[in-house]
Amino acid sequence: MWLNQLWFVLYVVIIGGYVILDGFDLGVGTLYLFVAKDDTERRLVLNSIGPVWDGNEVWLVLGGGALFAAFPLVYASLFSGFYLAMMAVLLVLIMRAVAIEFRSKRPGVRWRRTWDVFFAVASAGIAFLLGVALGNVLRGLPIDAAGNMNVSFTALLSPYALALGVAALLMLSVHGGIFLTLKLEDELLARVERLVPRLMIAFFVVMTGLIAWTLLLDEDFAQNYRDRIWTVVFPVAALAAAVVAWRSILVQASMRAFLASSSMIGLLMASVAASLFPVMLPSSTDRANSLTIYNSASQQNTLTVMLVIAVIGLPFVLLYTAGVYYFFRGRVRLDDTSY
């Protein structure tokens, strides 16, 4: 069963990679209308993620593929039970991509402002919906003995899930703001540097309340932390990374702040995964119906073949990602090829 455990870890790493990488450009989009005051500033903000935003979304495709191949029952339950929610996510993903590509195709003020709004709303919408989805997973879903999920769209919008959506929005806004400090200059940079610490305070307050709510909401969730004392390492390390990010922003150490922010997100994802393990989708009706890494996994030979493919393919993805960030490092400069 070590293959099941390994694929669980790989899946968490892939999804964590998506949240870290696509998370900062979602955060940039969320802050877009708040930090950029004119067309030139908006082009600078947009071009800070211009070379990388579509590559970052590759990690979402990888996550979907890994889930489909390694844990097909989880994939089937999620996509059937969350059908309308998934369609909403796809809609805002498409809307965001179209806004980025169409925005600078014409010089008209009304044209550009319209796509600016689409880009900002879609970015914030994706971040919020991802948090809502995670909130529903942590809260538990009505899964029957056959692994089927029957839940209405409105039932997914519980107060807890909405609160986690707000926390995700704030977290990625902080992450995106820190990324912008690596790419911008002058007054626009100063504006972002003033905003980020305020967002960090808001995120800390909301996250603290949400952690307390989570531990009170689900006794099994809290019990897992008590039974597995080693899991406490992840949230404690995440808090330490948040403190490092805070202090780094205050002294304008932007790269250190971004690495700390990325570490914080990765550690928070690890905290959730460690507390749920080996469950992937907890059932709110009967815990015996929960989908785990054992009862929802593919056959062992499938997991073996997938592991070979991952070992061969993932280094290319990592090499491509590293290359893009290396070649497009530094502050943003506008030219004829810019958005």
Flag whether pLDDT at 220 surpasses 80: no
Q: Is residue 339 part of a domain?
A: no
Characterize 26-49 residue by residue with b for buried, 16 or more Cβ atoms within 10 angstroms of its Cβ, and e for exposed: bbbbbbbbebbeeeebbbbbbbbb
Calpha distance 182→176 (Å, rounded): 10
Q: Report the pLDDT value the prediction gives residue 6, as an integer from 0 to 100.
A: 93
User: Mind listing the pLDDT tens digit for each residue in 235-292?
Assistant: 889 999 999 999 999 898 999 999 999 999 999 999 889 888 888 888 888 778 888 9
The per-residue pLDDT for range 1-58, each reduced to its tens digit, is 788 999 999 999 999 999 999 999 999 999 999 999 888 899 999 999 988 888 888 8
Q: Is residue 240 included in any domain, yes or no?
A: yes
The confidence band for 320, taking pLDDT boundaries of 50, 70 and 90, is confident
State the residue range of the domain holding 304. Answer: 2-327
338 within domain boundaries: no
What CA–CA distance (Å, rounded) separates 256 from 244?
8
- Per residue, the 3-state secondary structure of the chain, as one string, reads CHHHHHHHHHHHHHHHHHHHHHHHHHHHHHHHHHHCCCHHHHHHHHHHHCCCHHHHCHHHHHHHHHHHHHCHHHHHHHHHHCHHHHHHHHHHHHHHHHHHHHCCCCCCHHHHHHHHHHHHHHHHHHHHHHHHHHHHHHHCECECCCCCECCCCHHHCCHHHHHHHHHHHHHHHHHHHHHHHHHCCHHHHHHHHHHHHHHHHHHHHHHHHHHHHHHHHCHHHHHHHHHCHHHHHHHHHHHHHHHHHHHHHHCCCHHHHHHHHHHHHHHHHHHHHHHHCCEEECECCCHHHCEECCCCCCCHHHHHHHHHHHHHHHHHHHHHHHHHHHHCCCCCCCCCCCC
Q: Is the pLDDT of residue 194 over 80?
A: yes
Residue 65 sits at the vertex; the CA angle it makes with 64 and 67, to the nearest 5 degrees, is 65
Asked if residue 334 is part of any domain, the answer here is no
pLDDT surpassing 90 at residue 114: yes
pLDDT for res 27: 94
Q: Is residue 129 part of a domain?
A: yes
Predicted TM-score (pTM) of the model is: 0.90
pLDDT averaged over the chain? Answer: 88
Mean pLDDT of all residues in 64-71: 91
Residue-level pLDDT at 221? 65
The CA-atom distances, in angstroms, between 162 and each of 2, 130, 139, 217, 319 are: 35, 10, 12, 14, 37
Q: Phi-psi bin for 244: left (phi > 0), alpha (psi -120 to 50), beta? A: alpha
Question: What's the pLDDT score for residue 26?
Answer: 93
Predicted local confidence at residue 89, as pLDDT: 85
At residue 117, does pLDDT exceed 90?
Answer: yes
Residue 304 lies in a domain: yes
Asked if residue 332 belongs to a domain, the reply is: no
Total count of domains within the chain:
1
The answer to whether position 239 is within a domain reads: yes
